[in-house]
Structure 1
Amino acid sequence: MNEALNELVLRLRTAAQAKTARADVQAILKEAVADPESFASQMPVIEEDDLILFEDENVSIWYCRFQPGKTVPPHNHKVLATIAVYSGAERNDFYERAEGGGYQKSSEVVLSAGDVFKIGPNAIHTVGVASAEACCGIHVYLGALTQVERSLFDLTSGDALPFTEDNYYRMVSDD
């Protein structure tokens, strides 16, 4: 990590410990990506599509890059999440339980460079790219995301599957 990213991570770590953590994290991310081109120019080159920048019991801070033509399977977080996009555009499709089983799409949110968005702990969503280029962002979770028992969802059957690496890669879809 470079100095600018280290400073952002430190600020987010501090904010995550406050009583007003959700609002504080959102404010820091809004400030950080207010000029998305400047923020992007300060980011180091990161080879991975997902990289944990920091995690403890209070907060998980991830760098996330989503590739065009791929959609992350339906999942939940079980903790509060705040997403800041600084390059490209991210599409979040949200789902709710349908009558008779399965899930139905309830809403869609497209985040462009400079946008910040909060997601509740029980939300079920997929993530895809709504731009020609990859979408890059910082995702902040108020809790240790890698330690949470989360689920992936089969939208047709309504089955909830454990969020494992094998299940995840089996369910990633090509657009």
Structure 2
Amino acid sequence: MFDTEQFIADCRSALAADESPRLVREVVTRAVSDPAAILKELGEPKRGGLHALYHSEDLTIINMVWAPYMTLMPHDHRMWAVIGIYTGREDNIFWRRISRRNGHIEAVGAEALAAGNAVPLKSDIIHSVTNPIPRLTAAIHIYGGDFFAAERSEWDPETLDEQRWTPEHAMRRFEESNWIIDHLGVDAA
């Protein structure tokens, strides 16, 4: 049985016991092993968006919902993260800097995540994310810091030029991605 408040308490306890993502990943792994329980507690996702479940200086927990076919440009977190998928699929492309001077990046790997997967991301990771399926994907994302206040970067998807990341831009991108639900009749569920 997934309970949001208990999940938050378990993540806080895990972080207090170990500042690395190791114990937090164990909490997330247990949670996403029963996707139906998370869906029962959080509800069936209807639209893409970032839904903060918990937010402090040292820990942020977000229920992240990706609209069908949504892609988020390459970005960094500058803090560790744990991603736990509970419905749908998330494809990640991993990038590395090839030039400190102009901030350009190149792709170096990829990983597809499906319901039940819980994976850690190191604090220096750069990745882009795509929901490649014609329905919503939802995941619990845990960050080892203040996701909304951290100074971070994102890269233009066409030129791969580095620019400043803002939470407002990210939230707008999630809302704009809902056009496929609103205008093309793609089934959200």
Q: Aligned in 2, Cα 1:36/1:166: closer, same or farther, shift over 3 Å?
A: closer
1:49-88 paired onto structure 2 within 5 Å: 49-88=49-88
Secondary structure of residue in 2 paired with 1:137: strand
Does the CA-based 8 Å contact 2:90-2:132 persist in structure 1? yes
The alignment's TM-score, normalised by the length of structure 2, stands at 0.79
Give 1:161's aligned residue: 163
Distance in 1 (CA, whole Å) between partners of 2:10 and 2:104 is: 40
Secondary structure of residue in 1 paired with 2:39: helix
Does the CA-based 8 Å contact 2:131-2:137 persist in structure 1? yes
The alignment's TM-score, normalised by the length of structure 1, stands at 0.85
Give 2:186's aligned residue: none
Structure 1 position 101, deviation (Å): 7.2
- Higher mean alpha-carbon deviation, 98-107 vs 88-97, is at 98-107
Deviations 1:93-131 (A, max 9, x none): 111234797322211111100000111111111111133
- Higher mean alpha-carbon deviation, 126-135 vs 69-78, is at 126-135
Q: Which amino acid aligns with 1:102?
A: H
- Higher mean alpha-carbon deviation, 150-159 vs 137-146, is at 150-159
Structure 1 position 4, deviation (Å): 1.1
Q: Aligned in 2, Cα 1:29/1:15: closer, same or farther, shift over 3 Å?
A: same
Does the CA-based 8 Å contact 1:15-1:21 persist in structure 2? no
Q: Aligned in 2, Cα 1:36/1:45: closer, same or farther, shift over 3 Å?
A: closer
Aligned CA-pair RMSD: 2.8
Identity %: 25
Structure 2: where are the runs of 5+ without partners? 180-189
Give 1:92's aligned residue: 92
Distance in 1 (CA, whole Å) between partners of 2:169 and 2:146 is: 20
Does the CA-based 8 Å contact 2:73-2:157 persist in structure 1? no
Structure 1 position 14, deviation (Å): 1.9
How many equivalent residue pairs?
173
Q: Which amino acid aligns with 2:14?
A: A
Secondary structure of residue in 2 paired with 1:127: strand
Give 1:115's aligned residue: 117
Q: Which amino acid aligns with 2:163?
A: L
Structure 1: where are the runs of 5+ without partners? none
Give 2:39's aligned residue: 40
Does the CA-based 8 Å contact 2:93-2:128 persist in structure 1? yes
- Higher mean alpha-carbon deviation, 62-71 vs 38-47, is at 38-47
